[in-house]
């Protein structure tokens, strides 16, 4: 059973001050939001740099190194045609 209590004027004003309204403008320009966005952008930049270096020098570099060792894949096709 729910009992409703009639609030006095002091309790109503206390409830209004107790509840904080969310303001998007205040949140966007607050320090915590700006630092979160700065950290997020910094993380993205570092991740993209590391992935770029990995793909450019490790994967492509290793494949070009393997091509230098074993020759081009087109060479294998020509050798198989010649042997037939």
pLDDT for the residue 48: 92
Note whether residue 75 is domain-resident. Answer: yes
DSSP output for the chain:
-----PPPHHHHHHHHHHSPPP-HHHHHTSHHHHHHHHHHHHHHHHHHHHHHHIIIIIIHHHHHHHHHHH--HHHHHHHHHHH-
pLDDT attached to residue 45 = 95
Within a domain: residue 78?
yes
**Domain enclosing residue 60, as ranges:** 46-84
Q: What is the pLDDT of residue 32?
A: 83
Q: What is the pLDDT of residue 59?
A: 73
In a domain, 66, yes or no: yes
How confident is the chain (84 residues) per 10-residue block, as mean pLDDT? 58 54 71 88 93 79 65 53 52
pLDDT for position 42 = 95
Contact (CB, 8 A) for 56 and 63:
no
Q: pTM for the whole thing?
A: 0.41
């Amino acid at each position: 059973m729910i009992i409703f209590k009639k609030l006095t004027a002091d309790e109503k004003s206390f409830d209004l001050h107790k509840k904080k309204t969310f303001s998007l403008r205040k949140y966007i320009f607050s320090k915590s939001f700006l630092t979160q966005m700065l950290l997020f952008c910094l993380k993205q930049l570092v991740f993209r740099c590391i992935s770029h270096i990995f793909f450019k020098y490790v994967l492509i570099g290793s494949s070009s190194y393997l091509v230098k060792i074993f020759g081009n894949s087109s060479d294998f096709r020509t050798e198989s045609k010649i042997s037939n």
